[in-house]
Structures are given as C-alpha cells and as structure tokens.
Amino acid sequence: MLKKTNKSCSINDTVINKVIYAIENHNMIKSGDKIIVALSGGADSVTLLHCLNTIKDELDFELSACHVNHNLRGADSDSDQAFAETLCKKMNIPLKVFSIDVTKAMEKHTSVEETARELRYQAFAAESARLGAKAATAHNSCDNTETVFLNLLRGTGLKGLCGIPPVRDYLIRPLILCTRDEIEAYCDENTLQYVTDKTNFSTEYTRNKIRLELLPKLLEINPSLYDGVSRMTSSLSEDSLFLENMAKEALSDAALGDKTYNGEKLASLPRPILTRTVSLILKEKDIEPTAVKINGFVEIIKAGTGKVNVEKNKFATVKKGKAEIQIIIQKYRKKN
C-alpha cells in the first residue's frame, strides 16, 4: 500500500510511493510476475530500474531489462548500450540487447521516429513473449501531458485525450504519476548516473517543441499542470472504457455470424457507440482504425448500402442489411 508521507519526506520516498501506488491502483504487477524494464539509459528508465529493483522482494516479482540499440547516433548509440550493460551487471540484473537498423526498415512517408518506435516495441513484445513477462516502460506524467497536447494539436477524439494508458496489453508504466523533475532528483539523491540523448533538445521534433517551448509557458500559468492533466486523463479513461464496453455489447447484439453484422442495428446506434463498433470491426480484420476509415464505414452504414476501400484488397461493405469487411482482389490493366 501507499505509505503516508509528509512534506519532509525525501524525494526517494516520494517516487517509490508514487510507483507503488500506480502499481497497486492499476493492478500492474502481481506476485510471481516477471517484469522487463525497457532500459534506454536515460534518467527515466534508470530510475524505473532502480525503483523496481528496490521493491521487487516486497512485491514478489522477477526483474530483468531490455535495451534497444537503434544504431541512429553512431558512437553515441553504442555508448548507450555499453552503459546499459554496465549498469545491469553492477545491479546483477539480466539484460537482453536488441540491435536494429531503423534506416533500412523505413518505408516511404514513414518518419525515423515512427519506425524506431515500431521496431522498439516489436523488440519489447518479442522479449515479453519469450519470458512470459510484462514490459515496464518509463513513461512519466510529463510524457503523458506532452502526448495529450500532441494529440490535441493533431485533432483528436476522446481516446487521444486519455493520454498514455498506465496499462495496455503486456505494457505497464509504473512511473506514470512521477514528474521528470522528481525523476532527476531521485537520480541525484541515489547518485545514479544516466545518459542524455542530445536529440531531446532539438526542436526539429513536434514533441520536443511542446516539451521545450509550450509546456514551460503553461506551467507559468498553472504550476500544477501535470497533476491536472493526470486527473483529466484518468477521468476520461473511465468514460472511454465505459463507451468501449457499450460498443462491444452493441457489436455482439448485431452479430450475424462469421464476422458479419446487422446493418440496421448498427445504424440505429448513437454515433459515439457506432464509431467504436466500427473500430472493433476493422480491428477484427487487422485494419488500423483511422478516422478516415471509421467515418467512411459509418457513412455507408447510415446510408444502408455502399462499399469503401479501407486497405489494399479490403473493403467495408453494406449490402442487403449486412455490414462486413470483404476481401476483394483488385486487378488492374497494365498500360501499354
């Protein structure tokens, strides 16, 4: 349980108390679990590793770490890997290292950031599956706030305003209630060394612009910004989960069998529920439920008929009262 603290408590107690509270409040870790820390070598992940190592016996879980070398910063990338290896050896924590080629994996119109993130999470998923473990990432309340504003600037719905989920599938975020200042102070108090990614200070990336330019201005207006955003995301997440559960029930009620659905029943749903049922139908066919795809499918459901291309050779169709995703192989004539 979260220990009672007072104003004179150390930053060490504050951070560990917040971590334990997040773990218990979101049921992140159970007795006997295996936990892998995603260790970049930065202050956040070093703090996470140290915190979990401190409480692992109390909460009865096994701890290991995983480092992903993106090979994007030359000697700096190799130096970060060496740091992670040295730290884990010193703390007697098993470490798995993945070396990935982000540049080679990049596809047209995909950014370095997006590709690196996708490959990184593929590595976490692979290691989690190999060990039968959960993966702990070092996202904190500042990251959560940045994500909310990033989504807001892009034009988001309720899901985007929920920020970073404390738990998602095999992923857990024990530092989600801690600020970056608290994390760095924790490192200072425990004399923990960490590496700093120079790209974090480049305003070339939108997220960095939010962190370095926008949020400092907002903190002048409200010094409790991070706490306020955390309360908001927690509240909105409950609302979002309620709507998602309603959508699952509605989809089950409209099911005709073999992944086909009653179009009239779907059309009668309130739009907030309908858009979520459509998202579920798309996910059933491994289709990313973007706003364009969801809205296109909703439109033909409301119309009672139609066909919308949602992915290569995959079409959302509504015909004779039946809504479904069909596989239709497209053949094109070659130009002479």
Higher pLDDT, 117 or 317: 317
**What domains appear along the chain, each with residue ranges and CATH number?**
11-233 (3.40.50.620), 258-327 (3.30.465.60)
Name the pLDDT band for 169 (thresholds 50, 70, 90).
Answer: very high
DSSP state of 198: G
Q: Terminus-to-terminus CA distance in the chain, angstroms?
A: 73
pLDDT classification of 101: cutoffs 50, 70, 90? confident
95-99 β-sheet, strand order = 95-99, 62-69, 34-38, 134-136, 171-172, 167-168
- Contact in structure between 114 and 103 (CB atoms under 8 Å): no
d(CA 63, CA 112): 30
How many residues are present in the chain? 336
Residue 6 has pLDDT above 50, yes or no: no
Give residues with Cβ within 8 angstroms of 212, minimum separation 6.
201, 203
Closest CA to 277 of 257, 301, 258, 307: 301
Tokens at 151, concatenated: 């989504």
The whole-number pLDDT of residue 112 equals 82
pLDDT value at position 151?
94
pTM of the full structure = 0.86
Nearest alpha-carbon partner for 95 in 60, 55, 45, 31: 45
Does the pLDDT of residue 315 top 50, yes or no? Answer: yes
User: Using CA atoms, how far apart are residues 44 and 176, in angstroms rounded to an integer?
Assistant: 11
For 41-60, write each residue's pLDDT tens digit: 999 999 999 999 999 999 99
To the nearest whole percent, how much of the chain has pLDDT over 70? 95
